[in-house]
Amino acid sequence: MENKSVLQNTIANQITLEGVGLHTGKNVVLTFKPAPANTGYVFKRTDLKGQPTVEADVQYVNDTQRGTNLIKNNVKIHTSEHVLSALVGLEIDNCLIELSAPEPPIMDGSSKFFVEAILSAGKIELSELRDEYIVKEVIHYRDEESGSEMTLIPWDNYQVTTMVDFGTKVLGTQNATLEHLNDYVDQIASSRTFSFLHELEMLLENGLIQGGDLNNAIVYVDKPLSDETMDNLKRAFNKTKITVQPNGILDNLSLHYPNEAARHKLLDVIGDLALVGKRIRGKVIARKPGHKVNVDFARKLSKIIKQEKRLNAPIIDINQPPLMNVNDIMKMLPHRPPFLLVDKVFELSETHVIGLKNVTMNEQFFVGHFPGAPVMPGVLQVEAMAQVGGVLVLNTVPDPENYLTFFMKIDNVKFKNPVYPGDTLIFKLELITPIRRGICHMKGYTFANGKITTEGELMAQIVRKDSI
């Protein structure tokens, strides 16, 4: 599968919408704002003290009964899915979503108005590459209680198919497919949310959908409509007349598509899977999707992505000239052979470093460890990781030759696989916290033959030589 490098983007200008939250009934002002690279989607509650934020992350989902609701430090965001779906559908990578109330406006029950606002705001490229999750094998999830299933298979782009069956004559079985995000605006965005009459009655009885009316949800009449029910609906929606159309839809709404329900479920799937936090390159097949199964699958996928990130060795071309060779490294690090345990550095940024060591039979530590069955001591693997991390922290000063690097702490070290003569070690270290006062707190991994040999958390400090 082709590895495409695409720059991240954000909206070019801020744009504001106003409306009413479906379930809360509260007036709300929503403002889309540009955001820096690697921000992702972040909600901000402007109506609360300190204007706290909630990242669009599956770990913050606390309820999926009537939408996908987030909570972080008691800050709530209701029904996030339509807004997130619009952002993904328009391939926006980073955006700040400000809300003056807990819930985005329902508008017409689709993502159409959010899409129009984002399109009018425009799009600009950022300098960082898009972090995309490329599906390499089939990932499947099934909810045994409901029979709902989610399957993700390798594909050349992000594609979604939904299959819905509610077991009712009025709605029946429907399918919908989005073959490319380029088609989202024309094929999916205007698909409105829907409900069955029996669900609507329950919601009204429990004081929900306080911001609803008959213009922002399709209501399928799946039971006889009594005079009492008719009167309750008239009062709830402030209507003098309510009718049932021949196609079984309440009041005077006309369907945008014969399979609008399946298309809206597809819209929801895209919004809920946005909580994974990465652009997906693969095909989603959703059978009987709903917010619960969507989020459960997003949790599973998020876990898999984190595991793969941790377990997969960095992809580097060892035949290409490195960023730093051994002579460059010795200009920065105080270590010298035979205790210099890093040969090359291939990547170096403010937050991560990737280095390499070729382990040969000539290493002095093999003389006694162990005769006849040589393996590299684990403690030296940790030392090698620390030296690569030293490059990361020394890169923050203009004169690294005047500094020494000292270990402060080693935590959670695990040895996974032995290292033998002839192995090529790849080191990957990433900051856990920003570097402050010359102190570097890192998570490090050592790989050989595509497998982790060592991992651990390292803390080091650089000190000027003339201060010792």
Mean pLDDT of 173-197: 92
pLDDT for position 253 = 65
In a domain, 43, yes or no: yes
For residue 50, what is the domain's CATH number? 3.30.230.20
pLDDT for position 197 = 74
- pLDDT tens per residue across span 78-87: 999 999 999 9
For residue 419, what is the domain's CATH number? 3.10.129.10
Q: How confident is the model at residue 437 (pLDDT cuts 50, 70, 90)?
A: confident
Are residue 281 and residue 429 in the same domain, yes or no?
no
Instruction: Quote the mean pLDDT of the chain.
Output: 90
Are residue 439 and residue 416 in the same domain, yes or no?
yes
Are residue 336 and residue 303 in the same domain, yes or no?
no
Out of 247, 281, 311, a domain closes at 311
In a domain, 254, yes or no: no
Domain total in the chain: 2
CA angle 334, 337, 339 (to 5 degrees): 75
Mean pLDDT of 397-409: 91
In a domain, 321, yes or no: no
207, pLDDT greater than 90 = no
Mean pLDDT of 347-367: 93
In a domain, 249, yes or no: no
224, pLDDT greater than 80 = no
pLDDT > 90 fraction of the chain, expressed in percent and rounded: 68
Are residue 263 and residue 399 in the same domain, yes or no?
no
pLDDT for position 219 = 76
Mean pLDDT of 144-164: 96
Domain that holds residue 412: 326-467
pLDDT for position 188 = 98
In a domain, 252, yes or no: no
Are residue 293 and residue 432 in the same domain, yes or no?
no
Are residue 40 and residue 146 in the same domain, yes or no?
yes
In a domain, 89, yes or no: yes
Are residue 360 and residue 394 in the same domain, yes or no?
yes
445, pLDDT greater than 70 = yes
Are residue 345 and residue 435 in the same domain, yes or no?
yes
pLDDT for position 142 = 97
pLDDT for position 57 = 98
358, pLDDT greater than 90 = yes
Are residue 47 and residue 14 in the same domain, yes or no?
yes
Q: Are 180 and 159 in contact (CB under 8 A)?
A: yes
pLDDT > 70 fraction of the chain, expressed in percent and rounded: 91
Out of 272, 287, 311, a domain closes at 311
Q: How confident is the model at residue 22 (pLDDT cuts 50, 70, 90)?
A: confident
Are residue 362 and residue 276 in the same domain, yes or no?
no
Mean pLDDT of 383-391: 95
Are residue 296 and residue 330 in the same domain, yes or no?
no
447, pLDDT greater than 90 = yes
Q: Which pair of tokens denotes residue 226?
A: 């009594």
Are residue 339 and residue 378 in the same domain, yes or no?
yes
- pLDDT tens per residue across span 43-96: 999 999 999 999 999 999 999 987 999 999 999 999 999 999 999 999 999 999
In a domain, 240, yes or no: no
pLDDT for position 208 = 54
pLDDT for position 438 = 86
Residues annotated catalytic, as ranges: 291, 369
In a domain, 460, yes or no: yes
Q: How confident is the model at residue 435 (pLDDT cuts 50, 70, 90)?
A: confident
